[in-house]
A and B are shown apart, each in its own frame.
Chain A
Amino acid sequence: MERMLTYVQAIGEAMSQEMSRDPSVVSFGEDNIGGMGCDGKLGNAWGPTQGLHEKFPDRIFDTPITEAAFVGAAVGAAASGLRPVVDLLFADFMGVAFDQLINQAAKLRYMFGGQGTAPLVVRTFYGAGMRGGAQHSQSLYSLVTHVPGLKVVVPSNPYDAKGLMTQAIRDEDPVIYFEHKMLYWTPGEVPEEPYTVPFGQSRLVRSGTDCTVVALGRMVGFAETAAEELAAGGVSIEIIDPRTISPLDEDSIYRSVEKTGRLVVVDESPPRCSVARDIVALVAENRFEALRGPARTVNTPHTPVPYSPALEDRYIPGPDSIVRAVLEAVEAGGWNGRRQDRLAGTQSPVA
């Protein structure tokens, strides 16, 4: 019997179940309850923590607007016996707490020689599409993936959102959990019982033979749309959703590229030093011989996120840009030649 939840409900269910299971799990952030100090209760700006305050009145709190203090407090709390889930709201606000993320949380285990751990989760929502403007729309996962010591999670659907959140709370390392705000109301099948989705294991979204498409977060759905259009034109793509970018399931990407000979990586962040460029570099370094032609990346333009719908809609990579990139990849990679190979029964080995 399948049960449908939205992405945001799936996150809330994971938090609720983990708070029930483990009394050391606490949650705090700006408007995390929403309404502490007022007569009424807002619930929460987006809803994942709705109802949790009634269930766990001593373990979930609102904070003043003090990102550096409460993210740092999560580090101290984690080092002294709690498992905090921090709500940072917009990913853009990360800048205010960056010291505590990159110098404190990320370094705690290493620079103290393994004496302690920082089992905390920072929940944050990211991504363009809501006309949020340049300071409320960024996809900053590439930025934190650069920092050793932080684990970075980018769920693309409700099932993964619940399993990855459960894993994130149980994980002994600091996890930055990126929620795409345009996915919050996406429904999907989500089992009621608690389960984990392990970090570093990608999901094979769709099997295909002509090109590997690695896509993250909201881009996974766009890649699926692109796949239908491409299939109608006779091009078969294989879609991989890494689910976590630190750790990254490199092996599955390599196996797929060995099978298809082509690579397109789609990532809703500016191109320079992005996850997309990083994955292309990994494949170029480790499986260059498997590539039949140049890999392609699909990123946003290298600009801040614009406000006007006419501009923002062009800014966000969509199915069309994925289709275009795949066609470029297969054409540059000897599409016709590949078909000849097949006819001759001499295609490259399939993993």
Chain B
Amino acid sequence: MLRTIRAFEERVHVEYAEGNIPGATHLYAGQEAIAAGCCAELRPDDYISSTHRGHGHAIAKGADLTRMMMELFGREGGVCRGKGGSMHIADFSVGMLGANGIAGGGVPIGCGVGLSAKVRGTDQVGVAFVGDGGANQGAFLESLSLASVWQLPVVFVVEDNGYAQATASKYHLRGLDVARRGEAFGIPGAVVDGCDFFAVRDAAVEAVRRARSGGGPSIIDCKTARFFGHMEGFDQQAYRGSGEAEKLRAERDCIQRFTASVTGAGLVSPEEFDAIDREVADEIARAAEAAKAAADPDPAELLTDVYVSY
């Protein structure tokens, strides 16, 4: 899963540079351990709401890679039929309720999922991903309040990648962990290394168990690293110190860490990892080729799906 997300993002980076992806694209590379670690703990009938950086969440929840790639290319077979693009990537069939163009905008939607599960008497869980920037939105704090009052089966997963677009989280969060904001609402929080799959996974196990068993909401505050800029195309990352990006890749790569710890423990051999890498590379290549070959949407599509009925 980690490799799949990374390979998808690296391919998207190249395809964007070659002009094959027409618009707003925010890459998740560097943060894979969070999506993979959290979604590994979810069932297909659980729901997630996502951020503007949503590819990793969609892939980890089980969205189809080819249809995702088609969507990024703006093509007919795309998972949103070419109407959403990267920033609105979604796959309702696997409980991925959409990436969101509004920072913090998806968090209340995650609460709604929790309410829905509670009223319908299921043990489904809603996971709301939010960035460090989105965590400053009123909607995030209001959602903590609502989830606490209603004791919703929701997990708020904060992905603090160090930057809200170009503004550093050490400036806009004043150095305080977002997880501590939960204390004000009686919501337990964990601060974890978001570049460590196993740390994220452990926190997710506990938070999802709490939610599923009626214990109410939790926050997992993940400190992570964004390898690319805020957005493809426009962001030259002038706000980063020189060598910062390279340093992050050398020292904070969740995949290197995962591989080292798993091979070190003798669970998976380097050869097996190589085989996985080849398989993933083939799958991503097939997705990209299919996206290139796909047709543009029928112009009549412009006018459909505004309403179910009018």
Q: Which residues of A contact B (CB under 8 A)?
A: 24, 26, 28, 58-59, 61, 63-64, 66-82, 84, 96, 99-100, 103-104, 107-117, 148-149, 151, 171-173, 199-200, 247
Cβ of B171 within 8 Å of any chain A Cβ, yes or no, is: no
The answer to whether B102 and A70 have CB atoms under 8 Å apart is: no
Shortest A50–chain B CB gap in Å is 21
Nearest-CB residue, chain A, relative to B305: A114
Assuming A104-B109, A115-B90, A247-B310, is B115 touching A69 (CB within 8 A)?
Answer: no
Question: Most B CB atoms within 10 A — which of A26, A66, A114?
Answer: A66
Shortest A38–chain B CB gap in Å is 14
**Complex formed: what's the CA distance from A76 to B240 in Å?**
36
Interface residues of B in 125-153 (CB under 8 A from A): 126, 138-139, 142-143, 145-146, 149-150
Question: Most B CB atoms within 10 A — which of A69, A75, A104?
Answer: A69
Shortest A176–chain B CB gap in Å is 13
Pairs across A and B, CB under 8 Å, 23 listed: A24-B120, A26-B119, A69-B139, A72-B143, A73-B108, A75-B112, A77-B115, A77-B116, A79-B97, A79-B112, A80-B124, A82-B112, A82-B120, A84-B112, A104-B100, A107-B88, A111-B83, A112-B80, A112-B90, A113-B78, A114-B305, A116-B92, A247-B310
**Complex formed: what's the CA distance from A103 to B88 in Å?**
11
The answer to whether A72 and B308 have CB atoms under 8 Å apart is: no
User: Which residues of B lie under 8 Å from residue A107 when comparing CB positions?
Assistant: 88
Closest 7 CB pairs of A and B: A76-B112, A72-B108, A113-B81, A76-B109, A69-B142, A66-B142, A113-B80
User: Which residues of B lie under 8 Å from residue A103 when comparing CB positions?
Assistant: 101-102, 105
Shortest B163–chain A CB gap in Å is 22
**Complex formed: what's the CA distance from A273 to B195 in Å?**
50
Cβ of B306 within 8 Å of any chain A Cβ, yes or no, is: yes
Interface residues of B in 288-310 (CB under 8 A from A): 304-310
The answer to whether A114 and B81 have CB atoms under 8 Å apart is: yes
User: Which residues of B lie under 8 Å from residue A75 when comparing CB positions?
Assistant: 108-109, 112
- A84-B112, A115-B80 known, 5 other contacts, Cβ within 8 Å: A59-B119, A61-B150, A104-B105, A151-B307, A171-B309
Tell which of A61, A68, A113 touches B139, judged by Cβ atoms closer than 8 Å. A68
Interface residues of B in 90-104 (CB under 8 A from A): 90-93, 97-98, 100-102
User: Which residues of A lie under 8 Å from residue B142 when comparing CB positions?
Assistant: 64, 66-70
Cβ of B187 within 8 Å of any chain A Cβ, yes or no, is: no
Assuming A79-B97, A80-B47, A109-B306, is B145 touching A66 (CB within 8 A)?
Answer: yes
Tell which of B78, B101, B114, B305 touches A109, judged by Cβ atoms closer than 8 Å. B305
